[in-house]
Every structure is written in C-alpha cells, then in structure tokens.
Amino acid sequence: MNAREATRLLKGVRAATLAGDRPPAVPRPEIAESWRRMLAGGVHPDRDTRSRVLTVAETEERRHVSPLRQILPVLREGLLPALDGSLHIMVVADADGRLLWREGASSILRKADRLGFGVGADWDESVVGTNGVGTALVTGRPVQVFSAEHFVSSHHDWTCAGAPVHDPRDGRLLGVVDVSGPLATMHPATLAWVSSVARLAEQDLRIRHLESLERLRSVSAPLLARLPAGERALTVDPHGWTAAVTGLAPSDRIPLPKSFGPGRLWLPQLGDCVAEPLPGGWLLRIGGARTGAPVSRVVLDLSRPRSWSATVYGAAGSWSQDLSPRHTELLFLLAERARGWSAAELAAEVFGDATRTVTVRAEMSRIRRNLAGVLAHRPYRFGDDVEIELIRPAEGVDLLPHSTAPTVVRARLGRPGEGVIP
C-alpha cells in the first residue's frame, strides 16, 4: 500500500470512529487510545486550536534550565545530516510539550510555521490532539503518527515520529525528540532511527552522571577517612546516587525526599541521619537504627498528569518520593486489590505475559527498597497495618494514561474491579 492509499484508508478509519461507526480497519492501539483521550477531553477534530506561544525570554529560560540542552550535540549529530535531503525537521520539546529547539530543512520550517509548529508552541496532546510530541509524552514510549492518525484534520498532510528522553539518574521524563515532515517524506524506519538517537542521548547523560559521581567521590574521600572509627556515613549526589560509603554495605542509590536540605532527617533505608552539604552532593551521617520508623499511612497521589508521588507517614514524620510511570502503575495495582498479587499475576496484568516474573520481581524489589516498611510480599501487597489513601485525578483528567493494564483501564473508564479503595 502506498502513502496515498494508506492516507485514504486512515481518513476512513478516523471518520468512522468519530461517527461511532465500525471502521474499515482497526487503528493501532496507541492511536486508538489517543483518540479516546481526545474525545473524552473535548479536543475538536476539525479545529486548529493553539495555546499561547512562549515569549523569547520564556523560551530562553526553559532552555537554560533544561537538561535537554546538554544532549543537543548528540541529537544534532544523529539526526540533522539526513534532514535536508529527506525534507524533515527535528524538534526538541520539554516535558510540558513546549517546543524549545527546531532545526532542519528551511522549506519545511516555513510549512511548519503555518501549522503553528514553531519554537515556544505548546504541542501537548490535550491542546493539538494526537501527535508525535504530545502522544509520546503521555505514553512515555516512541510513537509514529501518520497522516489521518493525527486527531486534528489540519495535521493530516504531515507525518511525525517522536521518542521520549528520560533522565537516567531518576527516570524522570525530560521531553521528546521528534522528526516531522510532509506526508510524502514518511519512511517506516524513521521511528527506529529517532528512537536510537534518543537512546544515544540518554547514554550521553548517563556518562555525564558517572563523571559527576567520580568528582564527588574525590571530594568526599578525605572527609570519610577523617570520621571517627565505627561511624557510618555515605556521600550521595542530589539524586541519591552513592559516591562513597564507610561503615556499611554500599548501595547504588538512596532515595531522597522531594524537600531535602541540611539537618536531621529520617530515610526509610537508613533511619535517622544528619545531612551536610558537599560540592555536588551530600554527606549523610547515620545515627540510630537502620530499620527505620514504623509506617502507619501512605498517600499515593495520582492527581497530576505525569507527576505522581508517594508520601509515607510514620512515627518519625513524613517522607515523599516521586514515582516513575512503572512504579506508579504497580503501586496502583496493589492499592486496588487488598489481598495482593503474585509475581505471575502482576506480569500478566502489566506486560500481558505471566512468564515475565523476573522483571516484576526486580521492579518490586526496587519499590520495596525505596519504600521500606510499606510493602509485603508473597503475595505482593501493602502491609496489613498500613493505611492507604489514593488521590485520583480530577474529572476529565485521565488516570495513568500510559498504562494498558486491565485494572487501570477499568478504573479509568469508571468500572473498577474488586478490592478498590473508596
């Protein structure tokens, strides 16, 4: 099937879907899910809606604080040499869907301007519909959107392929790199190409992180050597990654609370600590039992799009941690079924494959390390004495839009299963 035939078919699929009729072909799952979000969110399929474009000063401020600026050389080297010849442009957007950088064929840049696809524009899915930037941000996965797979009809002459970029230090979604161009320039391999370059960019960030840990290790080694004999301490970077330890077994990472500063605090993995600032990190001097304080309550906040957290309350106070999409999904499943899940059940629920128990156990092990005293296993569940509060999104905001787990989908559609917390 050539591009023209594919476009005609997709337009028929979209028209039938909007009319509530049976489409001539089934749209790809990620496109069908996006269209459902657009219909639920009230995005108009034939109106080119645009939000306010950032000013030059606002754009420069976002560029300055974005870690994406560090990987621009990698993205340019991997993508730009082929763009002029293929009549595509490269776009880099932040986690809010704001376009911060845009380069490529000048003729295509002018066409993109007419579409509102310029620096400072907002290409969040809720504003402009299904697209390579906004949809990749929602799902956290690479996505290619071809012609009438775009929900808004004014975008049907374009094809785009976007891949998310994550911070290897904490898994945070930094933004999306996208390659877009006119419909006739579409190639099936474009998505794989863009995804590969995005992974190279993440690897570059990982190397920078390892270099920063080595610098912190050099700074902290003399300090740890001068501590009194028997004292337990470690140095960590601002994301909790360990640079050096003394008096205890090394750990790759100590999750730090969102509000973190100098002074005494309690951490689930270490117990009572005193934090002292260092150039590029922290010295944590450990005092008291390492088992931590008993946990009485956990608040799982899913109300903010792409920004989820768990707050632990115990005798020693509260402690809050941001959650990755996968860990958020798993904790929601535990909250939805009080009797818990086996590893095979979670594997089937999350991955559609009950044999992927090794992956599930690894992820649950990470969660249990980060939220000590909260979770039990065999089966995996919240502790019997732990009160769970689940804060759901407001009406009109999707619950965990990245998740395809059946329990999450049922809850998203207002048809929760057994064991749901009111």
DSSP string covering 335-378, please? HH-TT-B-HHHHHHHHHS-TTTHHHHHHHHHHHHHHTTTTEETT
How far is Cα 75 from Cα 58, in angstroms, rounded to an integer?
Answer: 23
User: Is 131 among the domain residues?
Assistant: yes
Structural domains of the chain, count: 3
Q: Name the H helices within 104-243.
A: 106-115, 125-128, 134-139, 190-225
Q: What is the mean pLDDT of residues 399-420?
A: 73
**What's the pLDDT at 207?**
96
Residue with tokens 């306010």: 52
CA angle (346 as vertex; 408, 141 as ends), nearest 5:
60
Q: Which of 286, 313, 330 is the last residue of a domain?
A: 286
Instruction: Give a yes or no: residue 213 inside a domain.
Output: no
Sorting pLDDT into bands at 50, 70 and 90, what band is 294? low
User: Residue 2 — very low, low, confident or very high, per pLDDT cuts 50/70/90?
Assistant: low
pLDDT at 315: 61
Is 343 among the domain residues?
yes
Are 281 and 315 members of one domain? no
The reply to whether 192 and 244 lie within a common domain is no
Average of per-residue pLDDT values in the chain: 88
Classified as helix, coil or strand, 296 is: strand
Query: 33 and 148 share a domain?
Result: yes
Per-residue model confidence (pLDDT) at position 1: 59
- Quickly state the pLDDT bin for 289 (edges 50, 70, 90): very low
pLDDT at 209 over 80: yes
pLDDT in the model for residue 297: 85
Tell me: do 277 and 301 sit in the same domain: no
- Is pLDDT above 50 for 394? yes
CA 186, chain centre distance (Å): 27
Instruction: Determine the pLDDT at residue 421.
Output: 35
Stretch 138-162: mean pLDDT: 94
| Confidence check: pLDDT of 184 > 80 | no
For the entire predicted model, the pTM comes to: 0.77
Q: Is residue 356 part of a domain?
A: yes
Q: What integer pLDDT is reported at residue 174 of this predicted model?
A: 96
User: CA distances (Å), 177 to each of 50, 140, 340, in order?
Assistant: 20, 12, 38
| Same-domain status, 271 and 247 | yes
Answer whether residue 157 is part of any domain.
yes
Q: Are residues 153 and 24 in the same domain?
A: yes
Residue 291: pLDDT over 50: no
- Range(s) of the domain holding residue 377: 295-412
Look-up of token digits 């190397």: 207
- DSSP 3-state of 248: coil
CA–CA gap between residue 327 and residue 26 (Å, rounded): 31
- Region 146-174: mean pLDDT is 93
CATH number at residue 71: 3.30.450.40
pLDDT at 317: 64
Distance CA 400, CA 115 (A): 30
Q: 218 in a domain, yes or no?
A: no
In a domain, residue 420? The reply is no
Examine the pLDDT at 419 and tell me if it is beyond 50. Answer: no
Checking 250-257 for CB contacts under 8 A at 24+ apart, the result is 254/284, 255/321, 255/369, 255/370, 257/319, 257/320, 257/321
| Dihedral angle of Cα 362, 136, 322, 391, to the nearest 10 degrees | -100
Mean per-residue pLDDT, 177-204: 91
* pLDDT at 235 exceeding the cut of 70: yes
Whether the pLDDT of residue 415 is over 60: the answer is: no
Q: Of 286, 310, 332, which residue sits at a domain end? A: 286
Same domain, 144 and 36: yes
Q: Which of 242, 267, 286 is the last residue of a domain?
A: 286
Is residue 48 scored above 90 in pLDDT?
no
> How many whole angstroms separate alpha carbon 209 and alpha carbon 324?
19
375-376 and 317-323: which strand pairing? Answer: unpaired
What average pLDDT score do residues 169-197 get?
Answer: 90
- In this structure, are 64 and 183 located in the same domain? yes
Does residue 253 or residue 102 have the better pLDDT? 102
The whole-angstrom separation of Cα 3 and Cα 5 is: 6
Residues 247 and 353 in one domain: no
Q: Sign of the C-alpha dihedral, residues 328, 333, 337, 340? A: negative
Q: What are the backbone dihedrals phi and psi of residue 66, each rounded to the nearest 5 degrees, phi first?
A: -80, 130
Q: Tell me the per-residue pLDDT of 54-70, one tens digit each, with 9 for 90 and over.
A: 999 999 999 999 999 99
**Among 57, 146, 51, CA closest to 98:** 51
- The tokens describing 103, both together, are 């380069």
Q: Is residue 132 scored above 80 in pLDDT?
A: yes
Instruction: Determine which of 160-169, 247-256, 334-343 has the lowest per-residue pLDDT on average.
Output: 247-256
pLDDT-derived band at 145 (thresholds 50, 70, 90) equals very high
The answer to whether position 175 is within a domain reads yes
pLDDT at 372: 66
**What does the pLDDT look like over 369-382, one tens digit per residue?**
777 678 888 899 99
- The answer, yes or no, to whether residue 50 has pLDDT greater than 80, is yes
Same domain, 282 and 299: no
Mean per-residue pLDDT, 323-327? 88
Q: Does 116 have pLDDT greater than 80?
A: yes
Q: Do the Cβ atoms of 176 and 133 come closer than 8 Å?
A: yes
Residues 83 and 101 grouped into a single domain: yes
Bond preceding residue 379 cis, omega within 30 of 0: yes
175 in the same domain as 257: no
pLDDT at 45 over 50: yes
Rg (CA), the chain: 24
Q: Which residue has the higher pLDDT, 81 or 74?
A: 74
